[in-house]
Chain A
Amino acid sequence: MRPFFFGDSEAPLWGVLHEPSAEKERDHGVLLCPPIGHEYVRCHWALRQIAAALAKAGFATLRFDWFGVGDSAGDLADGTVERWLSDVELAVEELKDTTGIRTVSLLGVRFGAALAALAAKTVRPARLVLWDPITSGESYVAQLFRIRDLALNDDKRFWSLASRGPKDRPGETEIVGQDASPELLRSVGKVTGERLRNVPKCRVLYLYSEPDAGAQTYADDLARAGCTVTTQSITTKTLWTDPKRVDELFLPADAPLAVTRFFEEPR
């Protein structure tokens, strides 16, 4: 496992490369696109396990942090969808350059899955894994504010809600422990189902950890767009919208196995 910074030296991105052993190595690498905001921290351990499992199966795997997220440069408030789509292209090039691999697939989680789907138009991945993807940016932004408000009014988290003063209020663009910006929220809000359907034909694994009415609809949309879609439920207890879990990581359960099996299937 090799950690490093890459990209623009004035705004570098953080990456961790998981390299397979020489005897197992395949000419196929995978880029992991994490969630943003508070979900990024929750998912970190799970993505590490997925990367380790993929590398063990012969796939060089690069985990990276978006600009303004994790260890990468910048603040979340300075992030935009357009900037993050550039991050995907940069990370794919980095994966190819450092390993010599020519075939790359994308795996994205939550908003990272939406970004992976959007980036697919340019990156042309061999395969795409979408884990609990966000299928409406506008709904996602509303959800984040809802979770924020529930968490901030949790009397198990805070000693005394009654004694809060005027200074104990979140900022207008504050979302679950992080500051966003009007520009970022607008940018995320413009991620629509129509844009997300515009995925080039490839094999897609649609993983969902919680029943979601939108999940099957999006999977069907991708199939109509010409993708070969496999839908699979996993037992991972993500509880994305539970306001009591906003700072808790979760174990990956059967996600690494599901992902590895998908990539190991013959082309």
Chain B
Amino acid sequence: MTPKSPVQEKALLFGEAKGLTGVISLPQNLDAARPAVIFLNAGLIHRVGPFRMNVKLARRIAGAGLLCLRMDQSGLGDSLPRPGDMSYEERAVLDVREAMDALGARYGIRTFILIGLCAGALSAHRAALSDARVIGACLLDGYAYRTPAYYLYSKLSKATDPSFWRKAGERALTKLREKLQGGAPSPSDSRESAPPPDPSEEQPGHGAAEIFAQDWPPRDVIEDELDGLLSRGVRMLFVYTGGWSDYVHKDQFDEMFPRLRYRERAQVELYPEADHTYLMLAHREQMMGRVLSFLSGF
């Protein structure tokens, strides 16, 4: 028999037009003086997260005493799109603001911690910048910039990886074969390429492609913004995985952002064996334990 969960969950419709959907995980003894945790969408995936990660983590966090809201940003999951011409980032900031307003009005909570993976990490960063109610943030595979440590370490690790040499050898053989046979190589994938998307077909996260297609904002801009957040007292946890191709060494963070004045408020973790969405349970458990440890300080 499944034991009764100590965490009660409720559906929440919120926002100006009640167009945003979320699920609240309530701790047994809610303390409104403690912050609430808000999960943002990981890319286009709805609020449950990759492999239901957000559901598990939210229930554990609530079990540890913090209210959680896993929400769908406008146009994603079960949330309605927001009218108007706002960019994806602008919509994310407004969505989070409405989430904080709703939790404040309903539960009297005044401070918040945001959790976001990938595009959700940048959304969390933007929302934190725009609202002083955000006192903490966990950015999972957020912004990363190539530094000398990146180039040195990625070259070294490739040089010692047998599969790199095997693949390099296979590529060289393929090129040699093509040269000897002459003519254009035949496609390695014999499937038909997918037809272009029908522009009339509704797609999740209208305009989200803009954020996935572009690079991160310039490094010095992010560094200034991060410095501002840390100076304001925001505590942050950055977790990177080996599946996130631009972050490869545990000291790379300090190379990326050498000018942070309150660096001690930023915790950084690298799990080189994990992939971007924590496919393997052992890796996901490791990440969740780290996040819980970070949150226990609030």
A, B: real partners = yes
Interface residues of A (CB under 8 A from B): 1-5, 10-12, 14, 16, 38, 41, 44-45, 48-49, 69-71, 73-74, 76, 78, 151-152, 155, 157-165, 167-171, 174, 176-179, 235, 237, 246-247, 249, 251-253
Nearest-Cβ distance from residue A10 to partner chain B, whole angstroms: 5
Nearest-Cβ distance from residue A55 to partner chain B, whole angstroms: 13
Q: Are B51 and A41 in contact (CB under 8 A)?
A: yes
A-B contact pairs, 27 of them (CB 8 A): A3-B21, A5-B9, A12-B9, A41-B52, A44-B46, A48-B78, A70-B48, A70-B52, A71-B9, A71-B48, A73-B9, A155-B163, A157-B279, A158-B273, A159-B245, A159-B248, A162-B161, A163-B157, A169-B280, A170-B280, A170-B281, A170-B282, A177-B50, A177-B277, A178-B51, A246-B279, A247-B45
Count A/B pairs, Cβ under 8 Å: 131
Chain B residues within 8 Å of chain A by Cβ, number: 50
How many angstroms from the CA of A157 to the CA of B181 in the assembled complex? 33
Q: In the A-B complex, list the 7 residue pairs whose CB atoms are closest, starting with the nearest.
A: A159-B242, A177-B51, A3-B11, A157-B275, A247-B277, A247-B50, A162-B161
Please tell me which stretch of B123-131, B138-146, B196-204, B221-229 contacts chain A, meaning at least 4 of its Cβ atoms lie within 8 angstroms of it: B196-204
Q: Are B279 and A247 in contact (CB under 8 A)?
A: yes
Nearest-Cβ distance from residue A182 to partner chain B, whole angstroms: 16
For the complex, is B93 an interface residue (Cβ under 8 Å from A)?
A: no
Q: Are B276 and A3 in contact (CB under 8 A)?
A: no
Q: Are A163 and B9 in contact (CB under 8 A)?
A: no
For the complex, is B15 an interface residue (Cβ under 8 Å from A)?
A: no
Nearest-Cβ distance from residue B295 to partner chain A, whole angstroms: 21
Q: Are A159 and B272 in contact (CB under 8 A)?
A: yes
Which secondary structure dominates chain A's binding surface?
loop
How many angstroms from the CA of A75 to the CA of B280 in the assembled complex? 16
Tell me whether A14 and B275 are in contact in the complex, defined as CB-CB below 8 angstroms, given that A41-B50, A179-B281 are known contacts. Answer: no
Nearest-Cβ distance from residue A23 to partner chain B, whole angstroms: 22
Nearest-Cβ distance from residue B292 to partner chain A, whole angstroms: 18
Nearest-Cβ distance from residue A82 to partner chain B, whole angstroms: 14
| 15 additional A-B residue pairs with CB within 8 Å, beyond A163-B272, A246-B279 | A3-B78, A41-B48, A44-B46, A45-B77, A49-B202, A71-B9, A159-B241, A159-B243, A159-B248, A162-B163, A163-B157, A169-B282, A177-B51, A177-B277, A249-B44
For the complex, is B194 an interface residue (Cβ under 8 Å from A)?
A: yes
How many angstroms from the CA of A157 to the CA of B280 in the assembled complex? 11
Of A3, A45, A69, which one neighbours B44 at CB under 8 angstroms?
Answer: A45
For the complex, is B36 an interface residue (Cβ under 8 Å from A)?
A: no
Tell me whether A168 and B78 are in contact in the complex, defined as CB-CB below 8 angstroms, given that A3-B21, A11-B2, A160-B157 are known contacts. Answer: no
> What residues of chain B lie closer than 8 Å to A165, measured between beta carbons?
273
How many angstroms from the CA of A171 to the CA of B282 in the assembled complex? 8
For the complex, is B106 an interface residue (Cβ under 8 Å from A)?
A: no
> What residues of chain A lie closer than 8 Å to B21, measured between beta carbons?
1, 3, 16
> What residues of chain A lie closer than 8 Å to B51, measured between beta carbons?
38, 41, 176-178, 247
Identity of the chain A residue whose Cβ is nearest the Cβ of B12 in the assembled complex: A3
Q: Are B280 and A168 in contact (CB under 8 A)?
A: yes
Interface membership of chain B positions 10-36, coded 1 if the CB is closer than 8 angstroms to chain A and 0 otherwise:
110100000001010000000000000
How many angstroms from the CA of A38 to the CA of B204 in the assembled complex? 18
Q: Are A45 and B248 in contact (CB under 8 A)?
A: no
Q: Are A160 and B78 in contact (CB under 8 A)?
A: no
Q: Are A167 and B279 in contact (CB under 8 A)?
A: no
Q: Are A45 and B46 in contact (CB under 8 A)?
A: yes
Nearest-Cβ distance from residue B20 to partner chain A, whole angstroms: 11
Q: Are B197 and A251 in contact (CB under 8 A)?
A: yes
> What residues of chain B lie closer than 8 Å to A249, measured between beta carbons?
44-45, 204
Interface membership of chain B positions 147-182, coded 1 if the CB is closer than 8 angstroms to chain A and 0 otherwise:
000000000010001110001000000000000000
